[in-house]
Structure 1
Amino acid sequence: MNEHAVDPTDQPDQTEQADQDWWARGRHPVNVGQLVMGLAFLGLVTIWAVLAADALDGDALRWLLPVPWLVAGAAGLLATTVGAARRR
């Protein structure tokens, strides 16, 4: 091969270039699945800690347990919407 010839395998594709641009600006794309599950886990651990400390009784579980799932779902929708708006 000629030393001046360009090898097409040496060129980064567009997704690699986009990822490099994100990291160069000090930011990275949000993994929505990890965000949602992390928030849900954090919420469930918080509920467990509150119940373990006897700050609330067992009857509060009926209205407390859905809260982390709703918050995590709303955060996922927000992250998806904001991410889609930035790509436009």
Structure 2
Amino acid sequence: MSDGHYVYVLRCADDTLYTGYTTDVERRVAEHDAGEGAKYTRGRTPVECIHVESYETKSAAMSREYEIKQLSRAEKERVVDSERE
């Protein structure tokens, strides 16, 4: 998954959720797992990518990332679960 703009949600080892933006989901998840990602995910590895959304523009993806980050834990779980239905 590259050449696009992606918003992703990770489930960390402590069962917390982390939302981020990237242009390469696999690389970014690997960085998080290696402790080289966001400060939040360091010490919360391993992480599992549980949700990905694709956007054509960086601004659209960044807007969606912000939107998801404003949601409550329960609302984030619904976003993740909606993909599995």
Structure with the higher fraction of residues in strand conformation: 2
Larger radius of gyration: 1
TM-score of the pair, normalised by structure 2: 0.25
Structure with the higher fraction of residues in helix conformation: 1
TM-score of the pair, normalised by structure 1: 0.24
